[in-house]
């Protein structure tokens, strides 16, 4: 069966930090980029988020570095019930923009991935899959137009 990521470039690489403000300064110096603003996500209950199948109110602080070929995302969790809070420091996920997250969802599940968290993102959605047992990471699907999962 074909991989849902076979011809897709990596959209984003994300890292978790307990102190996003300090992390932004370090990344800006490393990358030679300006320090980006911090964005606070809407609480999970406002974006129909669920964590391991249960509604969650969790949120996060986010900062983005836009490099020519990939976006670097820094995340600081707010609250306990989220994929973010499970891994509070270091590498967190690799993200891909997809069309038809429902097809990618089926393929990932067939490979043993567990859906961890999803939430609305405007008209689209984000979905995290736990593949830490087999690949040591989380995969995120980003979708501009939401398909039902």
pLDDT, tens only, 5-45: 778 889 999 999 999 999 999 999 999 999 999 999 999 99
67-94: average pLDDT: 93
53 by Cβ neighbours in 10 Å (0-12 / 13-18 / 19+) ranks as exposed
Reduced DSSP (H G I as helix, E B as strand, rest coil) percent helix, strand, coil of the chain, to 5: 20, 40, 45
Residue 48 pLDDT: 96
Confidence grade of residue 3 (pLDDT, cut at 50, 70, 90)? confident
Which of 124, 75, 76 has its CA nearest to residue 96? 124
Mean pLDDT, residues 72-81 taken together: 95
Location of structure tokens 């830490």:
132
């Amino acid at each position: 069966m074909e991989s849902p990521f076979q011809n897709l470039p990596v959209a984003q690489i994300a890292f978790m930090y307990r102190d996003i403000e300090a992390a932004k300064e370090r990344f800006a110096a490393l990358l030679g980029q300006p320090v980006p603003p911090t964005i606070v996500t809407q609480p999970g209950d406002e974006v129909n988020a669920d964590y391991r199948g249960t509604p969650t109110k969790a949120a996060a602080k986010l900062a983005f570095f836009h490099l020519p070929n990939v976006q670097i995302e820094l995340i600081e969790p707010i609250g306990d019930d989220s994929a973010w809070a499970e891994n509070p420091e270091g590498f967190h996920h690799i993200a891909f923009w997809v069309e038809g997250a429902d097809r990618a969802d089926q393929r990932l599940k067939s490979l043993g991935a567990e859906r961890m968290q999803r939430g609305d993102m405007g008209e689209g959605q984000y979905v995290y899959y736990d593949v830490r047992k087999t690949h040591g990471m989380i995969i995120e699907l980003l979708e501009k137009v939401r398909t039902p999962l």
